[in-house]
Amino acid sequence: MGEYKVGKKSIRVVTLSFLIGILTLPTLAFAGIQSVDENDKSYGVGNIPEVPGLPDNVIQYNRTNTIPIQQKDQVLAGEPTLFAYQNTTMLFNSTKNCHLVITAEATANQKIFALSIDPNQTMTLTMNISSNPLQNKQDKDKNLNFYANIEPNATVKLTAQLKLHINQTELNQELDWEVTPEKLTWMYWNGTQNEWVKVPSFIDQNGYLVCNTNHFSIWTIGETDDLTEKTQAIIDMALIYGGIGVGIAIILAIGIAVFSKRR
- Are 215 and 244 contained in the same domain? no
Flag whether 149 is in a domain.
yes
CA dihedral over 159, 165, 171, 177, signed as positive or negative: positive
* 182 and 171 part of one domain: yes
Same domain, 59 and 105: yes
The number of folded domains in the chain is 2
The predicted structure's pLDDT at residue 142: 78
Q: What is the DSSP string of 50-72?
A: P-TT--TT-EEEEETT---SSEE
Residues 152 and 201 in one domain: yes
Cα gap 113→208, rounded to integer Å: 9
Domain span at residue 259 reads 227-263
Instruction: Please check whether residue 102 is in contact with residue 71, taking contact to mean a CB–CB distance below 8 angstroms.
Output: yes
User: DSSP character for 43?
Assistant: -
**Residue at 198 is within a domain:** yes
Identify the pLDDT of residue 175: 84
Q: Which residues have a Cβ under 8 Å from the Cβ of 83 and sit 6 or more positions away?
A: 61, 63, 68, 73, 89, 90, 92, 102
Residue 127, in any domain of the structure:
yes
Cβ atoms of 75 and 85 closer than 8 Å: no
Cα separation of 241 and 247, whole Å? 10
Let me know whether 140 and 239 are in one domain: no
Low-confidence ranges of the chain (pLDDT < 50): 1-11, 13-16, 18-40, 42-43, 227-242, 244, 246, 252, 258-259
Find out whether 76 and 111 touch, Cβ atoms under 8 Å: no
> What is the predicted pLDDT for the residue at 201?
97
pLDDT at residue number 173: 87
pLDDT at res. 202: 97
Q: What is the model's pLDDT at position 134?
A: 60
Q: What is the pLDDT of residue 133?
A: 74
What is the length of the chain?
Answer: 263
pLDDT at 253 (0 to 100): 54
Q: What is the pLDDT of residue 256?
A: 52
219 and 232 within one domain: no
Dihedral of alpha carbons 253, 255, 256, 257, sign: positive
